A = this chain, B = another copy of it.
Amino acid sequence: MQRPSGRQPDELRETTITRHYTRHAEGSVLISCGGTRVLCNASVEDRVPPFLRGSGEGWVTAEYGMLPRSTGSRMAREAARGKQGGRTLEIQRLIGRSLRAVVDRSALGERTITVDCDVIQADGGTRTASITGAYVALRDACGWLLKHGRIKSDPIHGQVAAVSVGIYDTHPVLDLDYDEDSAAETDMNVVMNDGRAFIEVQGTAEGHAFRRDELDVLLDLADGGIQRLMSLQREALGG
């Protein structure tokens, strides 16, 4: 089997994480995974959703969007169509859950951190890149809160990153790009923490269903890839 990109089955795409990418956000990260580029801006606001008012707890959430021409053919702008599609809502709910899994919301106090993940250019794996980048932006926003004395202790108690795996041309491979993704028979997005435990596992059989032994290999590949992504996150964060 030959991957379109010539990569090994367990090889990540070249991934870079750039902090302080824009000027206004409390955390601003551009993550590039091969041809996929996502801008992750974390914003701190001193308000919480109604169900948390008076609780002393904060909230962490995410929004996701694709620029209309981030893709091969132009997609209609969701703002112009008047609603966010099902895929968008599904992805931003996933990103939000993944981030909340490593945050102590009591330590955050009654404020909200919203991480906007906007896809500048898409080449497969935009949702997992969003999670990996959003973690770094969230880290910076919490650093900002600590530095400005708004909170006393760090609300982040773990590290989170994500990657896709799938079966391409009958072989399990790591970190699918668009060419592989659109041809893949099975696609799985895996979100893990730095304790090597799973936060989310979302596997979908596009073509044929996957056997248990295939699932096992895919999870191994994801585990390895996420270890390396976490190293890159730590490097970017300067430690």
**Protomer copies:** 6
CB distance from A74 to the nearest CB of B (A): 4
A74 touches B43 (CB 8 A): yes
- Asked whether any CB of chain B lies closer than 8 Å to the CB of A83, the reply is yes
User: Closest CB of chain B to A135's CB: distance in Å?
Assistant: 14
With A68-B41, A209-B101 as contacts: A200 and B203 at CB distance below 8 Å: yes
Residues of B within 8 A of A192 (CB): 209
Contacts A67-B116, A77-B116, A200-B204 known; list 12 others, CB within 8 Å. Answer: A24-B71, A45-B73, A74-B116, A79-B83, A79-B84, A82-B83, A90-B90, A97-B204, A101-B209, A198-B210, A201-B201, A201-B202
Write the nearest CB–CB distance from A95 to chain B, whole angstroms.
12
Interface residues of A in 218-233 (CB under 8 A from B): 219
Which residues from chain A sit less than 8 Å from chain B, CB to CB?
22-25, 28, 35, 37, 39, 41, 43, 45, 63, 65, 67-74, 77-90, 92-93, 97, 101, 114, 116, 118, 120-123, 188, 192-193, 195-205, 208-212, 215, 219
